[in-house]
Amino acid sequence: MRIDQLLNKLCLVKTRSIAKKACDNGLVTINDKKARASATPGPGDTIRFDLFGYRTVLRLTDIPKGNVAKKDAADYYELVEREKLDIPAD
């Protein structure tokens, strides 16, 4: 499954297009390498993304086969780190 689809299926972003744009802008990494939207992560991979004012790092435990209920989404990853980003005010 593509990384943009995965972020959407696991309810980490609202839409797949947001995930794709984040990948295109270099905001998503897989195992510390910038991820293209078409990259395919696997179980055990570390995903980092800087979105919505937070840097989120998670480790995939499994890849869903289809749609995932929001209440079950956290079963597919473990949260490693989540920190607020310092965004300068203009």
Q: What digits encode the pLDDT tens for the residues 13-45?
A: 999 999 999 999 999 999 999 999 999 999 999
Please tell me the number of Cα atoms within 13 Å of 48 on its side-chain side: 11
Please tell me the number of Cα atoms within 13 Å of 42 on its side-chain side: 0
What is the band of 89 on the pLDDT scale with cuts at 50, 70, 90? low
- Whether residue 80 has pLDDT greater than 70: yes
Contact call for residues 61 and 77 (beta carbons, < 8 A): yes
CATH superfamily of 3-84: RNA-binding S4 domain (3.10.290.10)
Per-domain residue ranges of the chain: 3-84
**Coil vs helix vs strand at 57:** strand
pLDDT of residue 86: 83
Which segments within 1-90 are labelled E, that is strand? 28-30, 33-34, 46-51, 54-60, 77-84
Closest CA to 68 of 2, 5, 3: 5
